[in-house]
Structure 1
């Protein structure tokens, strides 16, 4: 880690931070978590979060999925959807995310954990408003899933 990065305050750096988000689809529904913390506290979002030092974004996505929803996936099961790097996508700082897609069996159950206040499945045609740029990420993932 360089001297300009701080593990104490990830939002105080001028460098971009790396996150991983994951779109989980089950029988035509998508898994969303309700954010327990700011920004967008109470809003629905894709599971995801900061990639740890020494961790790939794919491994970070799998870890965050398990921490926030209890769903276990092997990193190699995740299909990369794309990178999202709009400078204003996160109000805290410059954050780049790599998004992944995972399709799970119809019986898979999710339970909120870590910094998720709730976790629930939403039909793809009846989504609530989403935090950050997650509506764009979800639309891209659904196009890939349908292809």
Structure 2
């Protein structure tokens, strides 16, 4: 890990309507052409729910009251860049506005998908949080060498 750098904290927003989830198609070096959730880094002095609401507004133009966000999963991620990341996932089931692409330089599409029929090309990091959300798991690890292996029946 580079000197002086610690774990990056990311927030991810699962905008859910009925049984559908909103995904955005990324542009650029990280995950270009693949699907992701509205997300971003926690800013200094910002609470996690406030950051998640801000990211939803910045990326897809919806206004979410931070009090309406429900924490659904946290994942500690290794090998997703030069330093580890802590991804905090929030579910939003109410918001104001219709989701649309507010960052066309970073995103090429905004689409709804059935929660049980997601596209094959979702970036593994957000996909881990989405799967955990569907399974009701509150915490997970991704990419760690000492990651516990699941017990197979």
> What is the TM-score with the length of structure 1 in the denominator?
0.79
* Alignment partner, residue 86 of structure 1: 77
* Alignment partner, residue 131 of structure 1: 123
SS at match of 2:127: helix
Equivalent positions of 1:79-118 (< 5 A) are 79-88=70-79, 90-104=80-94, 109-114=98-103, 115-118=106-109
Q: Any unmatched runs of 5+ in structure 2? A: 137-153
**Which of 28, 41, 49 matches 1:58?**
49
Deviates more, 1:122-131 or 1:63-72: 122-131
**Structure 1: 4+ residue segments shifted above 4 A:** none
- Distance apart, 1:125 and its partner CA: 2.5
Residues paired across the two proteins, number: 132
Cα RMSD after superposing both structures = 2.2
> What is the TM-score with the length of structure 2 in the denominator?
0.76
CA gap of 1:136–1:113, structure 2 versus 1, over 3 A, is same
CA contact (8 A) 1:43 1:130 kept: yes
* Alignment partner, residue 29 of structure 1: 20
Q: Any unmatched runs of 5+ in structure 1? A: 1-10
SS at match of 1:134: helix
CA contact (8 A) 1:81 1:101 kept: yes
- Distance apart, 1:61 and its partner CA: 0.6
CA gap of 1:94–1:13, structure 2 versus 1, over 3 A, is farther
